[in-house]
Structures are given as C-alpha cells and as structure tokens.
Amino acid sequence: MVIPKPNKPDYGVAKAYRVITLLNCLGKVVEKVEANAIAEECERRRLLHDGQFGCRKRKSAIDSVGRLMKRVAEEWGRGNTAVLLMDIKGAFPHVAKGNLIKRMEEMGFEADLVRWVESFMEERKVIMLMDGKEGDSMEVEMGVPQGSPVSPVLVVIYLLGLFGQVDVKEKECGSEGISFVDDVTWVVEGEDVGECTQRLERCAAETTIWAKKNACRFDIEKTEAMLFTRRRKNKEPKMKARVKVGNHEVPSNTEATRWLGVWLDNMLTLNDHTKKTLAKARKAQNRVRSLMTKKGISSEGCKRIQVAAVQAVALYGSELWWHGQENRAQEVQKLLNEQGRRVTGCFMTTPQGALMNDAGLRPAKALLNNRVRRYKLRQMMMPDAEGGGKMLEVQRNVLQRVEWIDELIPEDKPFERRSYERTTLPMDKRRLKGEVIIQEEEQALSEAKLEREGLVLWTDGARKEDEWVGCAVVWKEEGRWNKRRSQGRREG
C-alpha cells in the first residue's frame, strides 16, 4: 500500500510516498518468534556492534543519543568533536539475500535459522495498491518487507559489515559508529576543524565503498554534518566547514539538528529540544481537547489519552536534559496542570496538589525523575563492553529512592499521599571485590562449615510466580552471626 507522506512540497516524486507492506497476521506470529530467536542469539553471543542500538532489548533511540552526547562531553576541553549523520535510502528494500545469508553464516548462526531466513526471502510477490487501485502481481527478488517483525533485525545484521569495514580502516583516527536501524552516525575528534573534517571524509569514503558492494545507497539530501565545541573564540568560521561525501559537499549545521527525534545544538544544552517538544505537546493538547468535552469518555479514559498523546511528546528525551532545573520543571508543570483540568473539569483556581491527586497525574519533578531513573537502570543493566559505560551519565540529585508528593498534599491528609515510584538505584555503580563462588546446595552446606579468612557472605534468592523476589544474606563477624532479609517485586 502506497501512502503519501504529509507536508511534502511535490507529490510527483516517488520519495513523497511511503510504502507499507500488508502481511498475513498468522505469518507475523511465526516471524515474531523467529525475530526473537535471532535477536537472542545476537545478544547471547554478542555478535552485533556496540554502536548498533536499533531492534535490541534495553537499547532505545534515547540510549543511542545518550551515547553520542557522552562521547562529545568526554572530548570537550581536549579538542573538537564532529559528527556525520547519514541515512540509508530504502534500507529494507535493498537487502540482498545472498549477502545477508553469507553474513549470517560467517557470524555462526544455526543452520535452521539461516535456512528459515533464506526461505523467508524466496518466492515473494507484491501487489501495489495506490489510490484504491490495484496493480499487477510482481515478483520480488531483493529486500525484506517493511512491516514484518523479523525485518528490522535482519537489516541490523546486514549493516554489521559497514561498522567492521570502517573500524578496521579508520581505527587510528578513533572514529566511532552509532546507529539506530538505518540511521548511521560517525563521530570523530580532532585538534582543529580541518582534522575533524578530514576524518569524517575518510569515514564517508569507506561507507560509500561498502554501500556499492552491498547494493545500498545513502540519501545525500538527508546527510548532515555538525561540529560540537564549547570554544566561543572564532566560532563562526569553524561552523562553516564542509564535508565532502562522494561528489557532494555537506555543510556543517549552525542551528540545532534533529537526530532520532532529539534536537542537538553545538553546545548540547538541548534548549531547542525542550522548546520544540513542549510546543509540539501543546499542539497535541489542542487537538485532543475536543475529546475531553464529549460524553461517554470516563476520567480514566481522558487521563490515558493525555498521557499517551501529550505527555509522551513533552517528555521525549527528557532523560538527557533533566538535572533538576526549576525553570524547566515549571514549564512541564504548567502543561500538566492543563491536563489535570481537562481530565477533571476543575477550575483554574483549583490547588495544584488536589488537582494532580484527583486527576491521577504525577507532578513534573516526579515524572522527570522517574524517566531518568529508568534510563539509569537500563544503563546499569548493560555491561560496559556493550556500551552501558559509554552512555550519558545523569546527575545524582535526581536519583531519589521513592518519589512522594508530600509538598503538594496537606499534612493533615496523609491518606491522600501516593508513592509514585519505588525503583531504587545505588548512587555509585560498585562492583564486589572478592571471589564469587556458586555451588549446589549440599556442597555449599559443607563449604559453609569450613573456616575462611576475612569476611565471607552466603546468599540465596528465589522468585515466585507472582513476581515477588526474596533474598537473604548471612555473614560471620567477630564470632557473631548476622543476617539480612529482603522481599520485593518489580513495579510495572
């Protein structure tokens, strides 16, 4: 099915339309199972590049932007950092079956998975539907259907060779590749702008060579370059540098650049991103306003609409800029107050605490702190080798253990207080120094009777079917036994 893209100046060109593949629903179930099997194999054996974030568990678009910001922040003070943003033109339709199968065999996938992928890409036919008119049936010899659950992970595997080629050729210049599915970014550092430009051009040249060998093309119109620097002296001439990509010259953006939905400025303040997301959220608020006044929608339904259509837009990327700033929290709170009035129908003079409580909405600081904690939790769950240690760090003052709204609810009404988040995070990522021994029960009991030097801890844990987890730790100190017990459940 061919659908026109919104707000395009000329609908007489093919790129003004988006092709959506309508597939059999039962077939999608099988494809989803295979997609999970392939993705789990990649994660278990660490087959993918550290910089590939698309279609991977606990690796979102925000995580990839956080990694880019961390890399830039580390180089500030030592030199300049430049990036080249590239987008593969028609990544899904240009996956060559032979190259993909060869790459999966080189990566050591099981023969059954390789044969399934080969069968999935064989004997495929397509019928184009545009403006209600069906075309003739055509055979498809190349590409994967955009809309299939297994297609994104196959594209990620197909693009793995690109990172390997550039890393080998440009290892001495310290370039790093970061991607989210078909959005590829090259990051380089240099003492001056000229050195950064030369290194980006070398990365672009290797990318072009790989693309020609693998039947891919990069959209030059979507290719952008950007220089990050905190040096204000002679800043304007530096921002006019151009990067040669093939036969084209890409100018460096002087304004904020949008990448994966986040507006990045050359000093990474994200002020432009905050303004744009709040403005976009207010427009969404105006669009859903009529739904709030129609009969038949409960207050709970109104709240869900507000959270899904407005809050999600306003808070996108807040993990990267929230450090406890009062002015930004106030701007978000104004939007939340308007949401509360739309959900409850209260007046403008309604106290903020009662308004948030009756609407079932979290205050701004609680929402922002919660998103930062979830971001930090994802970071702590990833080994450093997979990029967890390379993601943007967050400030300690927003990693509180439990969020309350005590300041909004009067002290004489404690029954109205709500705990909004119970995620606990350590202030520092500490590693246990010592020997970790995992044994069976009988062997552990016999080992526990032996005398050992220093502090020795014994621990055990189990999870029930209702998600509750219990654990206990015992240790002997100065001839005296001590113990600690804990029980909890992961909050949804």
Please tell me the least confidently modeled range out of 279-288, 363-372, 398-407: 398-407
Q: What is the pLDDT of residue 451?
A: 74
Where are the strands (E) in 208-300, listed by range? 224-228, 242-245, 248-251, 257-259, 262-264
Cβ contacts of 154 within 8 Å, gap of 6 or more: 38, 95, 100, 117, 144
- The reported pTM is 0.75
pLDDT in tens, 105-133: 999 999 999 999 999 988 888 888 877 78
pLDDT of amino acid 118: 92
| Strand partners for 474 | 458, 483
pLDDT at residue 412 is higher than 60: no
Q: Name the one residue in this structure whose structure tokens are 């029960």.
A: 441
Question: In sequence order, which residues have a C-beta less than 8 Å from that of residue 408 and are 6 or more positions away?
Answer: 352, 353, 356, 357, 363
286 exposure class (CB count in 10 Å sphere: 0-12, 13-18, 19+): exposed
Residue 421 pLDDT > 50, yes or no? Answer: no
Question: Which of 265, 353, 350, 274 lies closest to 318 in space, CA to CA?
Answer: 274
CA distance 168 to 206: 10
Instruction: Please give the average per-residue pLDDT across 3-23, as a whole number.
Output: 81
For 125-167, the pLDDT digits (tens) are 888 887 778 888 888 888 888 888 999 999 999 998 888 888 7
The answer to whether residues 87 and 224 touch, using CB atoms and an 8 Å cutoff, is: no
Paired tokens of 151: 């297609």
Residue among 224, 207, 217 nearest 258 (CA): 224
Angle between helix axes 151-158 and 97-107 (nearest 10 degrees) is 80
Per-residue pLDDT of 25-69, as tens digits, reads 888 899 999 999 999 888 888 888 888 887 887 788 898 898 888
Extended beta strands in 199-252, E state: 224-228, 242-245, 248-251
The mean pLDDT value of the chain amounts to: 79
Give me the DSSP letters along 379-416.
HHHS-GGGTGGGSPP--GGG--S-B--TTTS-TT-GGG
Residue 189: pLDDT band with limits 50, 70, 90: confident
